[in-house]
Chain A
């Protein structure tokens, strides 16, 4: 069909604006030099060597730990929510999903900033505590505040895919299990949960990726004291100007994400007998 040609301009576009920028990042990561001309860079592995020092390994560990924890918390808190919503009548389902989505339509920065109003030293919670005579608590600028910010911002990304898979489970399967004498716990364990795994996998990737790469949440709620890999990349590009090291860190970040995705899609395939992953 002649219409194929309509895609050619976009193929060129993707080469220029998607592929080429990533290749440039790879180029930056494996070179060093501070001249203005890109061709004067020399090949070097120093950027990666610098990454494998305790300071930056600690940053990576902290980022991965916080992202994993926030993913696990979102799953534990979000799965029941998705399950309850999927059991409601269809009209109520739509309203509840809408209510879940509405907070996401507030600017991401403002949503995070709102927690400053609540948790800050002169914030809402400390003011209430002061009224009943409790001395102010340090609720902000620690790992817990960052974790809270991550769960708050990304929880809907966990609930939505699980919910959409749960609503597609055929009722016949559950009825069949009931007829065969399974109790509700067994039905959940042996039928519903395994069938909802693709949604869980999508949810995990959709929470983990933004959580592990964020720099805004850690910046606002961590007060700059608890930097994550995203903060270090941001500093390299915006402040220090060491794009080579920043690029190397981004590549490390991308590798981590690819590993997570490979790992989760493997679970998916084992359980589902080869359901298509995201790629």
Chain B
């Protein structure tokens, strides 16, 4: 009995720890005072200010544009790569997979500065293109890691049977393999999309010429002092991401039902 109560208290404390900062952040986005921590009535003016703020809107546009472009491009490259890697066996496969793991395991800051060094080496100007390329670089490994298990589940003979029956490899790919691994592709793309939206460190090092995404804008705002517009923005982003999360979660539930394991 005692252990049951202490378990409940422990769970309550843990989730309170995780949620209190977020609840406070959201609550103060409706606070009619610039001072954080002093409640002076309900207002929506920070939300109105937010939509008048050209800098933030531009950052939002860049964030979404980069997230869409990088997730689509990395999904295409990653899916083809995964299909190829699936066919490679032995030592070479291990080398490829380990190389692929490097951006996943390396600290963000190391990935960020190493790409920065590469872009300076080939003398690309820092800006939109370098930020986009860096996002594609760190997203592809995640796409590959979500597609590979689906390829493993697929019946090996299907594609070969199609090719024996005269299908070209490309036709077999389009009509047999892609439909079979489609759930994995979508999961990988959503993962790439959210990683891109959430990224700060890699974007911070690989941007230039006044191109900044939301994370970079938030970072520079936090240094200037606390501003409730950030709270309003974070509340909106949180709600949008929450909806996305629920969609993904529903998807993976359906996958489980269809896949049977």
Contacts and interface: CB of A to CB of B under 8 A. Distances in A.
Interface string B62-102: 00000000000000011011011111100000001011111
Contacts of B15: 99
A215 B109 CA distance: 9
Contacts of B222: 109, 113, 116, 220
A193 interface: no
Interface residues of A, number: 76
Given A101-B245, A120-B226, A254 B118 contact: no
B20 interface: yes
B7 interface: yes
B46 interface: no
A25 B94 CA distance: 24
Contact of B117 (A25, A81, A152): A25
Interface in A1-31: 1-11, 13-14, 16-22, 24-25, 28
Interface string B7-49: 1001100110111111011001000000111100000000000
A113 B230 contact: yes
Interface stretch (B50-58, B181-189, B236-244): B236-244
A144 interface: no
B96 A14 contact: yes
A122 B249 CA distance: 39
Contact of B109 (A109, A110, A233): A233
A250 B101 CA distance: 18
A45 interface: no
B160 interface: yes
A111 interface: yes
A17 B118 contact: yes
Contacts of A20: 118
A213 B108 contact: yes
Interface residues of B, number: 80
Contacts of A13: 77, 81, 140
Contacts of A110: 25, 218, 230, 234, 237-238
B84 A4 contact: yes
B76 to A, nearest CB: 10
A185 interface: no
A107 B114 contact: no
25 contacts: A10-B77, A14-B96, A14-B99, A17-B137, A19-B99, A81-B10, A84-B10, A105-B194, A105-B245, A106-B25, A110-B218, A110-B234, A116-B226, A117-B24, A118-B24, A120-B37, A123-B37, A124-B36, A209-B107, A212-B107, A216-B219, A233-B109, A247-B117, A250-B109, A257-B105
Given A21-B114, A22-B102, A118-B21, 16 more contacts: A1-B159, A7-B85, A16-B118, A24-B114, A81-B14, A101-B245, A105-B198, A113-B25, A117-B21, A123-B36, A123-B37, A215-B201, A216-B219, A238-B204, A250-B113, A278-B101
Nearest first, the 7 closest Cβ-Cβ pairs linking A and B are A7-B84, A213-B107, A10-B81, A114-B21, A21-B114, A6-B84, A4-B87
Interface of B: 7, 10-11, 14-15, 17-22, 24-25, 28, 35-38, 77-78, 80-81, 83-88, 96, 98-103, 105-111, 113-118, 121, 133, 137, 140, 159-160, 163, 169, 173, 177, 194, 198, 200-201, 204-205, 214-215, 218-219, 222, 226, 230-231, 234, 237-238, 241-242, 244-245, 249
